[in-house]
Structure 1
């Protein structure tokens, strides 16, 4: 099994364990969370939930919200998007962070792997989508052959779940490497749910890719057998099979892209070697304090799609390092978990 395959399996197992933690409790049912997640979580013991403008709610999360465990009690911050469904998905996602950071068994699972932050984040998406979309409802829209773009739109129409939750559940049913994307009416990625494929970043422009360009130009559903996704560094994926369908009166676009085994084609084989690569080009490490310039001679990190310098730094390292701060007592640069709230002195020096 590939690294991405192991990560996919791990996030599903972690999300299932998170649901089991809820089912062992006696405060609320999964059905209650599904029907009205915001109301239930507002009264959940040991946490508080607040709404905030999306610009201040954002963080490293894949959705517009954040979990703040430096407050007492910890806070679920949910962006005030126009969609009540989306706020519900965001609240459940942030609640997933709370579960994983306060339950010993869930926390041990996180730190047993090499990419605890990545697993925590994707498990939150998986958890939220499974709460909102039970298996029997998903099966009514998506068959065993995997999702077409119209299937994802149908799942959204049939349910009370957000578009993001529908994308996550649909991506889990892909039979090959791929992703389910939510884009706005300009072709900008709002959310991406991958399975075995490096997804395009949130906020990236996909309007020039063959599939999205056709959907935007025609203002109808589109299908392309040779499309791709573009990355912010200028790279593209290998050729993908893709379908796109409009949602909510042409306000949002749902796209399904996959390397092979798509349900709308009788035979869809992978096409390796069609990716545009940076191999052999020069790169400067973006990690603070490093800045090494090196020639790219090996595959990029499978999580962030950035090359690694000679010190092993990639885009993941750069993001983590930006959150670190220096202890005024020992002068060591340490991650946020080593400090009590906003204290300038680390826990070891107090």
Structure 2
């Protein structure tokens, strides 16, 4: 099960997609699309017949438009003559730590005020430092001194 945006794909022995499904904001590769430009697929094709699982942190999806996805965490293994491949943007279950990559955030940086309101104020009557809630709006002395 994918816990973050990702793709599960089945490829044939030439590196072409026979099935793909996605989760999150990632689009799956088109059926029959050539994925041999993906470093994960290329490594799997070179190690064909050796068995085992291959893990790469520089995988990507090659789309039919010529573009590629963001860099993904990927893992693949052979099942007979089919390659089973899983790629995710973050939180890869097979890695102990796989944070989001730079530039993949859904939102930009948080807006910060230039001059935030002070966390404390000094009363001009008793000269004690107090929380702003202890002052009436616009008052220079605290509520205790004003009473």
Q: TM-score range by the shorter chain?
A: 0.5 to 0.7
The structure-2 alpha-carbon separation of the partners of 1:204 and 1:247, relative to structure 1 and needing over 3 Å to count, comes to same
- The answer to which structure has the higher strand fraction is 2
TM-score by length of 1: 0.28
2:3 paired with 1:180: no
SS at match of 2:18: strand
Number of aligned residue pairs: give it: 100
Q: 1:261 aligns with which of 69, 80, 91?
A: 91
Superposed CA RMSD in Å reads: 1.3
- The answer to which structure has the higher helix fraction is 1
Q: 1:215 aligns with which of 30, 44, 49?
A: 44
Q: Distance in 2 between matches of 1:199 and 1:271?
A: 19
Q: Distance in 2 between matches of 1:227 and 1:207?
A: 11
1:235 is matched with 67
Deviations, residues 214-268 of structure 1 (Å, cap 9, x unaligned): 00001133110111010011110001000000012xx100000000111111110
2:103 is matched with 273
Ranges of 4+ aligned residues in structure 1 off by more than 6 Å: none
Q: With a CA cutoff of 8 Å and minimum separation of 6, indicate the structure with the bigger relative contact order.
A: 2
- Kindly indicate whether the alpha-carbon contact (under 8 Å) linking 1:189 and 1:205 is maintained by their aligned counterparts in 2: yes
Deviations, residues 105-159 of structure 1 (Å, cap 9, x unaligned): xxxxxxxxxxxxxxxxxxxxxxxxxxxxxxxxxxxxxxxxxxxxxxxxxxxxxxx
2:23 is matched with 195
Equivalent positions of 1:247-258 (< 5 A) are 247-248=79-80, 251-258=81-88
Q: Distance in 2 between matches of 1:178 and 1:256?
A: 7
Q: Distance in 2 between matches of 1:189 and 1:237?
A: 16
TM-score by length of 2: 0.65
Q: Distance in 2 between matches of 1:272 and 1:193?
A: 25
Q: 2:33 aligns with which of 182, 204, 216?
A: 204
SS at match of 2:9: strand
Which consecutive unaligned segments of at least 5 residues does structure 1 have? 1-172, 275-350
Q: Distance in 2 between matches of 1:264 and 1:222?
A: 11
Q: 1:224 aligns with which of 44, 56, 59?
A: 56
Larger radius of gyration: 2
